[in-house]
Amino acid sequence: MIDEIAPPLKAERVRKRSSGLSFLLILTFIGSGIGFFMTIVLAFGGNWAGFFKTLPVVDTILRDDSIGNWLYIAVKIIIYGASLTGAVFMWKLKSPGFWIYFSAQILLLAIPFLFLRELGISYLLVRLLTNAVFTLLFIMLYAIRLKQMD
């Protein structure tokens, strides 16, 4: 009798994140997290900035970015925050996260041309080429998995 009164339950489709997407997202959390942290260190300096300037590769990034003004650093912090936000959305399998991540990554490629012109166009183009390889690879790999998201 109770079965006749209760409405039938709809079977909800449980979506699961693939291991490939999880791996990409973990790499994104690491990369964007490090970028976010390094930019915060550059903004607030202190003993941490001195320590990071002794590390190979990191010293070059911090030196290059220190040429930019406070607006450059603030914009970069916001863009890295957007990149991490996009990754969180994609972790939850929400497709707007891809577009947030995509936009943030393209902006990260473009803003040195607005703020770091003192480094010279040839240096900025080499930097763009180096960064674009990984950025475009990740964007393509996420685009392939976009159909897994809402």
pLDDT of residue 96: 94
24-49 pLDDT per residue, tens? 999 999 999 988 988 888 788 767 76
pTM to 2 decimal places = 0.81
pLDDT of residue 102: 97
59-101 pLDDT per residue, tens? 777 777 778 788 988 999 999 999 999 999 999 999 999 999 9
Dihedral sign for Cα 68, 74, 78, 80, please: positive
Q: Is the pLDDT of residue 10 over 90?
A: no
- Mean pLDDT is lowest, of 34-43, 103-112, 124-133, for 34-43
What value does the mean pLDDT of the chain take? 85
Q: Is the pLDDT of residue 51 over 60?
A: yes
Residue 58 pLDDT grade (very low, low, confident, very high; cuts 50, 70, 90)? confident
Residue among 139, 141, 146 at smallest CA distance from 108: 139
